[in-house]
Structure 1
Amino acid sequence: MDVHRSFAQVAILEDGRIVAERRVELVQEKVLTFGRMLQADDEIVLEATGNTAAIERLLRPFVSRVVIANPRMVRAIAYARVKTDKIDAVMLARLQAAGFLPEVWAADDDTVRRRRQATERMGLLEETVRLKSRIHAILHANLVPFYKGELFGPAGQRWLAQATLPDHERRILDRLVEELRHTIDQLAALDRELARLALADERAVRLMTIPGIGPIVATMVLSAIGDISRFASPQKLASYFGLTPKVRQSGESPARHGHISKQGNASVRKMLVEAAWSARTAPGPLRAFFVRVNAKRGPAAAIVATARKLAVLIWHVLAKGQDYAFARPAFQAMKLRKVALKAGAPREYGKAGPGRDYWIKEIRQREMEYVKRAEEAYARMVEAWREVPPGSKKRSC
């Protein structure tokens, strides 16, 4: 099926030859009608597009398998000077029959739901940034002095309401402020839902043992990964997020490593970079890693390298079903309690909660000393790498 926005061109291949061609309108009832015409041992091939998940879900019960093809790799294999919908559909069928179709993973229903929520959250964030930029533009265009505090906090909102503006500009500003308030409320409601999902998912709770990763990052990462078993190594997962460097090598020339590929889920990659900025402030091996790379290559490269290290840790935590080795139990309990409150759990005054130990100075200090020793051990290991044995060439790390 060569899928478009409103229709799909279908080519049916049987015993090595095309036996039928038709168009199917991409409306639920029409797709279901087409599915009832198929046989239980048929295979369907689709290219990955925006509506592929819906088509796959509708046709899955009628056939033995629905295969989703990687559109970039299909173009590389099946490049032709004459390109039509019929030719594309036939080519997909022939590539699958020959075993040459570059397949991508078909997300299950739970992962699709998570991805829709993640997409919605990114849309709300972008809308928030857009509205704030327009408010700043109105103030700048009318020579309103810069507000020194948090413009969109309670005090800033009161200041905005009293700012001197022409009547028509005031009406626009009030409308933008109201839109911003509504968007922020929607974002808060979605974040509460994502926090509840994170607490109910054992994988997300494990991910939150890693410094810098909270409920939103954990849920976004899981929505992108789906089944961790489809990544054979941590390097494959880091590459999936576009956090591995490009490599160019030909002939006898040495390999050249460039910038990260940025080929993958851009939203999750940005969130991992944000998580890395948070992780670099927490004592432990991750901070020592950031300090080492920062001293050699600067903060920009160091934070991307730390984000890649987070991707590696995520793979180990999920693939092995273990918590982060240097997690602090009392801090983790306090962290989960905050997530529960964000998810709407009631506050319980007058009795000790699950995060009580974190507020006991002796316990908190003991955990801090443990992770600091791990950080120092990492630094000593790096120093051992830098030592050059007598008679050997200098190595870089």
Structure 2
Amino acid sequence: MSKQTREKLWCGCHFGEEELSAMAYIGVDLHKKDFHTCYRRAGAAPTFNKYINDEEGLRRFIATLHSEDWVAVEASGAARPFIFRIEPYVERVIMVAPYQFRLIAKSVKKSDRLDAAALARGLEKDYLPEARVRSENAVQLHSVLTLRANLVRETVQSCNCLGSMLQRKGKPLPRNQLTSLTKWREIRAFEWDWADAAYVRLLHEQFLATKGRILKTEKVITRIAEKFPGYDVLLSVPNIGPITAATLLAAIDGIDHFPCPKKLAAYIGIVPITRQSGSHRWGGRMTKFGDASARGLLCWAAWRAMYKNESLYSFYDKIRKRRGAGKARSAVGRKFLYLLYFALKANRPVAHFEDLNFSDLKRTLPGALARI
């Protein structure tokens, strides 16, 4: 970008040519309508600016950037397009994990300028917790999975409304029977007065329409998930179907990001909280930092697959007797995730699941993969 173009674009921005040529640590407090920035340069006082969050405001902000600058912005819905827009003009852009960077949320004195200053200071001192930016395919898959989850909630709501009406009329039915299309037709054949018959008919039509949209959504999910490496690998594991595999792949978004299975377990949020001070060490519940849907489906798949592998069930039974069933299910889910990690790393399906020894997974799994 030429000097004349830069001068035209940063009208209203208070920078000299020496400041523009020096490397800066820039903190950005991003909002939907505007964003505040703080520039920290060596040997200079922090400089603040405010920009409108539109194309013109972004162009003015980009004009102040240098190829050696570092930029920090908190993770939010607006952060992703903002990062992609400014990434070509700077050396590094960091998306900060807000839950781990509590300095802003817990600050007594809080404003947009101070938030941007805290980000710039943390970037300069290199203590910001960085969040990973998901790939475009992972974002698309996660969006369609969220749509399917909302549609499933609609079907549950229709079944609950029908169940409540049957309870009022003295004809209660178990809730698990209300998902059957045959049972819905039987209920419509009951002798109802006009208002109740219309109510049941509307619920039935809504239920059928939502079921049809769910089937269409699942086809789209499968089509997107097939683009991910490791989709067939996950389908080879017992009790993992297309939706569970797609949810896990959208959450993981590339197994190469994780150097060991413990890192993946921490990312999913299925590791226990650990607090240690001096000689005292305390471990509590799961952190639950990651994707809740992925974590729930993972634990459910592990719970069902546990009965097909003797060593995994023995591990569950051992933990259950000592710590209770809840913690045992979480521990089984973590063991099951280790299996998925090694299989995805090798990019080969899992065979002979029932013969795997989960107490020595690193040694037994390569043999199971090699026999395919």
> Offset of 1:249 from its aligned partner?
3.2
User: Which residue number corresponds to residue 270 of structure 1?
Assistant: 296
Distance 1:277 1:78, change over 3 A: closer
Select which of 229, 240, 245 maps to 1:218. Answer: 245
| Number of the residue aligned with 1:131 | 158
Contiguous gaps of at least 5 residues in structure 2: 1-27, 361-372
The 1:62/1:112 distance shift into structure 2, 3 A limit, reads farther
Judging changes above 3 Å, is the alpha-carbon distance between structure 1 residues 148 and 104 closer, same or farther for their aligned structure 2 residues? closer
Question: Per the alignment, do residues 304 and 8 of structure 1 end up closer, same or farther by CA in structure 2, a change over 3 Å counting?
Answer: same
Aligned residues: 331
| Counterpart among 233, 248, 271 of residue 206 in structure 1 | 233
Distance 2:219 2:274 in 1: 41
- Residue 210 of structure 1 aligns with an amino acid whose one-letter code is V
| Shift of residue 243, structure 1, vs aligned partner | 1.4
Q: Percent identity?
A: 26
Map 1:69-80 onto structure 2 (within 5 A).
Answer: 69-76=96-103, 79-80=106-107
Q: Describe how 1:1-397 pairs up with structure 2 within 5 A.
A: 1-15=28-42, 16-25=44-53, 27=54, 29-30=55-56, 32-34=58-60, 36-39=62-65, 41=67, 42-76=69-103, 79-146=106-173, 150-253=177-280, 255-283=281-309, 285-294=311-320, 299-324=325-350, 327-328=351-352, 374=355
Report if aligned partners of 1:11, 1:22 keep a CA contact under 8 Å in 2: no
**1:110 CA drift (Å):** 2.0
Structure 1 gap ranges (5+): 329-370, 382-397
Supply the RMSD in Å over aligned alpha carbons.
3.0
**C-alpha deviation, 1:216, in angstroms:** 1.5
CA deviation profile, 1:157-206 (whole Å, cap 9, x unmatched): 21231234454444343333322222222221121222233444331112
Relative to structure 1, is the Cα distance of residues 252 and 49 closer, same or farther in structure 2, using a 3 angstrom cutoff?
Answer: same
CA 1:290–1:86: 2 relative to 1, 3 Å: same
- What amino acid maps onto 1:45 in structure 2? A
Supply the AA of the counterpart residue of 1:154: L
Task: Give the Å deviation of 1:269.
Answer: 0.8
- Separation of aligned partners in 2, 1:154 and 1:79: 51
Amino acid at match of 2:266: S
Which secondary structure state, in structure 1, belongs to the residue aligned with residue 238 of structure 2? coil
2:36–2:48 Cα contact (<8 Å) kept: no
TM-score (structure 1 length as normaliser): 0.73
What is the CA distance between 1:270 and its match in structure 2?
0.7
Q: Within 2, Cα distance between the matches of 1:135 and 1:55? A: 46
Q: Deviations over 1:257-308 (max 9, x none)?
A: 3222223211111111221132123346434544554565554443322211
> Taking structure 1 as reference, are residues 50 and 72 closer, same or farther at Cα in structure 2, changes over 3 Å only?
same
